[in-house]
Amino acid sequence: MMKRLWLQGARVAVGLTAVVLLAPASADAQISRVSSTDHRQAIGINLGGFFLKGEDSRVNDDVLLADLPSLAFDIKDFNGGSFGGEWLVGIGQYLEAGVGAGFYQRTVPTVYRDVVNDNDSEIEQDLKLRVVPMTASVRFLPIGRGGVVEPYVGAGIGVFNWRYSEVGEFVDFEGGGAIFRNRYVAKGTAVGPVVLAGLRAPFGDIWDFGGEIRWQRAEGDTKAVETELLGNKIDLGGWNAGVTLHLRF
């Protein structure tokens, strides 16, 4: 009887010893799998700026170009901060597909260049542009995933929801120069190509940090007959540049 109990106790002790010895190895293997660079998906954020196309390259009949002769502002005044998020999915070692969304908004205060009120005060307006881009893209990683750094280039399509407004005081040059207050608003959705390039560096087990630039081209229809804006189009093209942070899984 005592012998059987001793043998059972010995078996239990051996089993517990095996569990204790094998548990670290199993945990090690699990950590190795988690910390592997072979992650297939990632979610991330980007913070940076949006820089509109300059005066010399904007589309004909652009509403901002139409306002420039009379209002005291520059196209570069519309350059401003932007942010967004995206979801990436790996396709093999050298390709990724991604979808994302962003947000940009900028208000530019301005005045008439050559006209003032009867009391010599400025005639003021606010020009405001908002763009919410939604994009789908494919990226090529020339040296693949898993390196110390991971450069990439890509291209895709963007759907740009936009809104442009002019609010304040205006001069009726055709009606004897009367000054009146009004609001002109146009909005819509435009579609256009997106090209991008970037560089990222994995750190820790599940993160990467990098920088990216994007070029986009799109034109919105302001419906000038209805909105009474001076230009029939608004050029939404330009460059996005910023930093990126991704969580890999």
Least confident of 1-5, 151-155, 202-206: 1-5
Q: Residues near 164 by Cβ (< 8 Å), separated by ≥ 6?
A: 63, 127, 128, 129, 130, 185, 186, 187, 220, 222, 229, 234
Question: In terms of residue numbers, what domain contains 158?
Answer: 39-248
Q: Residues near 82 by Cβ (< 8 Å), separated by ≥ 6?
A: 47, 48, 49, 50, 102, 103, 104, 240, 242
Query: pLDDT averaged over the chain?
Result: 88
pLDDT, tens digit, for every residue of 148-197? Answer: 999 999 999 999 999 999 999 999 988 788 999 999 999 999 999 999 99
27 and 47 both lie in a single domain: no
* CA distances in angstroms from 195 to 30, 119, 135, 192, 198, listed in the order given: 38, 51, 11, 10, 11
- pLDDT the model gives residue 168: 98
Q: How many other C-beta atoms can be found within 10 angstroms of the C-beta atom of residue 118?
A: 6
20 and 80 both lie in a single domain: no
Q: Which residues pair with 91 in a beta bridge?
A: 95
pLDDT band with cut points at 50, 70 and 90 for residue 204: confident
91 and 106 both lie in a single domain: yes
Residue 137 tokens read as: 């893209």
Q: How many other C-beta atoms can be found within 10 angstroms of the C-beta atom of residue 16?
A: 10
176 and 200 both lie in a single domain: yes
128 and 234 both lie in a single domain: yes
10 and 122 both lie in a single domain: no
- The pLDDT of residue 12 is above 80: no
Pairing mode, strands 219-221 and 178-203: unpaired
CATH of the domain at 58: 2.40.160.20
User: What pTM did the predictor assign?
Assistant: 0.83
Q: Where are the alpha helices (DSSP H) in 35-111?
A: 63-67
pLDDT band with cut points at 50, 70 and 90 for residue 83: very high
20 and 43 both lie in a single domain: no
Q: How many other C-beta atoms can be found within 10 angstroms of the C-beta atom of residue 56?
A: 6
243 and 225 both lie in a single domain: yes
Overall number of domains in the chain:
2
pLDDT, tens digit, for every residue of 16-52? Answer: 334 333 444 443 444 333 433 567 899 999 999 999 9
152 and 167 both lie in a single domain: yes
